[in-house]
Structure 1
Amino acid sequence: MVVNLPRCLAIATLLLLPGFAAADVLHIPQQVSSPISVPERGRTMQQVEARFGTPQARHPQVGGGHPQRPPITRWDYSEFSVVFERDRVINTVRRDGQTAPTRGQESLEISSETLPAAD
């Protein structure tokens, strides 16, 4: 029986080296209050109008007539627009084009790091 010594040493070396794994690390900064007050997700049209007043524009409803295409309506205010599904808020968009979060300004930072593998 012939043993290939260099090959055996190479395999043994690879098996004894510590393993490494690549992972993404998610950094979530603390929440900061939104600079403008916006309607919260889930509020009704009546609640939005009672709190923020009459919108500057009410766009015609789109969709509807099918369970998979519910009616969507948009109201425009001076600093933001509110999007409703049926009569409930589903999103608020600020005039500068950013989505206005309903519970504070959130941002995420994702970076890749190489971490030692768990034993």
Structure 2
Amino acid sequence: MVPAAHAGDSLLVNRVQQEQAMNLPRKGMSMAQVERQFGAPTSRLDSRGGGSAKQPVINRWMYPGYIVYFERSHVVHTVLNTPAGNNLNPQVAR
């Protein structure tokens, strides 16, 4: 018997499906490609990391509805801003 999905699991699946259906910056795109295709970000957050080769610089660009995360100068992930998520105000360190 397969266990029933939890509500959180369903929300995550829905979010992933929503992200896949949207035109968002893709993994591997350069900063220049993202800016050319999606325009300038509404803000560029302070860089994080960069203390060693194992901790590369992470840059974050905010757009309406999503945040693009770059490792050095290439996209590693794009995350939708959601009311229930913890990414509505990434400037605040937790």
Query: Which segments of 5 or more consecutive residues in structure 2 lack a partner in the other structure?
Result: 1-16, 86-94
TM-score (norm 2): 0.65
Q: Which has the higher contact order (CA 8 A, sep 6+)?
A: 1
1:32-111 aligned at under 5 Å gives the runs: 34-96=20-82, 97=85
* Amino acid aligned to 1:40: R
* Amino acid aligned to 2:37: R
Aligned equivalents of 1:79, 1:36: Cα separation in 2: 11
TM-score (norm 1): 0.52
**Ranges of 4+ aligned residues in structure 1 off by more than 2 Å:** 32-36
Q: How many residues are aligned here?
A: 71
Query: Which segments of 5 or more consecutive residues in structure 1 lack a partner in the other structure?
Result: 1-31, 98-119
* Greater share of residues in helix: 2
Q: Percent identity?
A: 39
CA RMSD of aligned residues (A): 2.6
Aligned equivalents of 1:45, 1:51: Cα separation in 2: 10
Q: Secondary structure at the match of 1:84?
A: strand
| Deviation by residue 1:81-118 (Cα, 9 ceiling, x = unmatched) | 00000000001000114xxxxxxxxxxxxxxxxxxxxx
